[in-house]
Structure 1
Amino acid sequence: DSQLKLAKSLRDEYQKQLTAAGFGQIQTTIKPLDKFYPAEDYHQDYIAKNPNGYCPDHSTGVTFSDSPSVPKTVAEVDNSALLTGQSIVVLEADGYCPYCEKFRKDVSEAYQGDIPLVYRTAKQLQDLDIETPTWATPTIYFLEDGQETFAKQGYMAAKEFYKALGAFKLGDSEAYKVAFAEGTDNRFCKQYDLFKDTPPGVFVDKLSGEPLFDTEHRFNSGTGWLSFTQPVEGAVVEQADHSLGMVRTEVIAKTSGIHLGHVFDDGPNGHPRYCINATVLDFVAR
């Protein structure tokens, strides 16, 4: 009885909003459930996995979040900093959103990049030029001077997020080709010349901002590529690479998954030589 009473109450409140917007009566019948069938695995979390799917029907454009029985407190935000340069806005729900939490845990909490990333709700997007609908959470917006250039509705895994970020930040550049198409810098490239003799500091992932290599372990290999005897502990992943008819060990950034270079066994004093592309790095002085 309590569930029936609540269901009818919510229906009646939503009907008021539909009527005010010029729509007719809700035709859904509310009655007891006499049988229950567990959904298949591919239907679990359907809405989160398919934010543009057929269910629920958002065609009316009338949302329920403004109901007087569901009071919302909208925190005042200042979006002026997002109106200049590049930024990332993660749209979250006013209430509980499991896939918003999952995106934070899997992706955004580890992000240290130089493009600002902020969290907003649908009512906190004032002054921003947003085109993608705001009913799906999370939605990740990539903005240029406050204007949406790309957005993804629904959860993004780290690999998908960083590939989108790479396209946004790097465009059709050599750095993007190195990061995502396993390209290789030219020997003695401009970025190498900038980085070969820096003051003490760390080289970080150009996308995630994660520290990857320390100048303490840099050496001049004479190859024309940045060389290190070791990475920052836990920062990279190594895997077999059989491309180009060779057997090598590829070095990948653990957080972003981008291609960094290769590691060889011919470093100084029996150490490895991490041969790293400079174009996918940034430098932070100590």
Structure 2
Amino acid sequence: MKNFLLIPFVVLVTSCNTNAQKNKEKENFPVTKTEQEWKTELTAMEYYVLRKKGTEKAIKNEYNKFYERGTYLCAGCGVKLYESKYKYDSGSGWPAFDRGIEKNLAYEKDVSLGMVRTEVHCANCGGHLGHVFLDGPSQTTGLRHCVNSVSLDFIPERNEEK
């Protein structure tokens, strides 16, 4: 009897997941490219993080302990995402910001790894940036945008205007 009830449950869960994945694939962003175009334009690690929702190693990444003034852009499409004045050392091993440029960010519920998190991605190309947590500085927004360095490019303040 247990197996009889288990089969419809598995079918229901699997079909919901499949439909969610199909809907995500159909999502339209202003910048859209084929997987081959992304693979050609991005490094292997950028592709893994931005397109496959991977995570780079903590601590030894480019922007973890980096505090120059400027703007962080999406490594996939170049849209402005974060300003250095909102960056802080969270101790997590990845760059952390208490806020981003909201019009250029999008959020999605992430239930991978057995927990519920909020994924943050570029609203222009859909590139995965990292996650947002509610353990940021209480004196500001209380948010921690935990972002992969490899998903970002940095433009120093003096070179921002192009």
For normalisation by structure 1, the TM-score amounts to 0.42
2:102 to 229, 233, 254: 233
Identity %: 33
Query: Match of 1:85?
Result: none
Say which structure is richer in helix: 2
How far does the alpha carbon of each residue in 1:172-206 deviate from its partner, in whole angstroms, 9 at most, with x for none? x122111111101101123235xx32321000001
2:38 to 162, 166, 171: 166
Query: Does structure 1 retain, via aligned residues, the 8 Å contact 2:61–2:94?
Result: no
1:268 partner SS: coil
Query: Does structure 2 retain, via aligned residues, the 8 Å contact 1:227–1:275?
Result: yes
Query: Match of 1:183?
Result: 54
Give distance in 1, aligned partners of 2:36 and 2:82: 24
Partner AA of 1:275 in structure 2: C
For normalisation by structure 2, the TM-score amounts to 0.72
Shift of 1:280: 1.1
Query: Match of 2:75?
Result: 206
Larger relative CO (CA 8 A, sep 6+): 1 or 2?
A: 2
Give distance in 2, aligned partners of 1:235 and 1:190: 23
Query: Does structure 1 retain, via aligned residues, the 8 Å contact 2:135–2:143?
Result: yes
CA 1:229–1:163: 2 relative to 1, 3 Å: farther
Cα RMSD of the aligned pairs, angstroms, is 1.7
Query: Does structure 2 retain, via aligned residues, the 8 Å contact 1:192–1:224?
Result: no
Equivalent residue runs for 1:148-159 within 5 Å? 158-159=31-32
Shift of 1:164: 4.1
Query: Match of 2:93?
Result: 224
Query: Match of 2:18?
Result: none
The 4+ residue runs of structure 1 with deviation greater than 2 A are 162-166
How many residue pairs get matched? 127
Equivalent residue runs for 1:20-39 within 5 Å? none
| 1:276 has 2:138 as partner | no
| 1:255 has 2:144 as partner | no
Partner AA of 2:110 in structure 1: D
Query: Match of 1:192?
Result: 63
Partner AA of 1:200 in structure 2: R
Structure 2 stretches lacking a partner, 5+ long:
1-28, 158-162
Give distance in 1, aligned partners of 2:36 and 2:122: 16
How far does the alpha carbon of each residue in 1:197-242 deviate from its partner, in whole angstroms, 9 at most, with x for none? 2321000001211000000100000110000000113111011001
Give distance in 2, aligned partners of 1:243 and 1:275: 16
Structure 1 stretches lacking a partner, 5+ long:
1-105, 108-157
CA 1:162–1:230: 2 relative to 1, 3 Å: farther
Shift of 1:166: 2.4
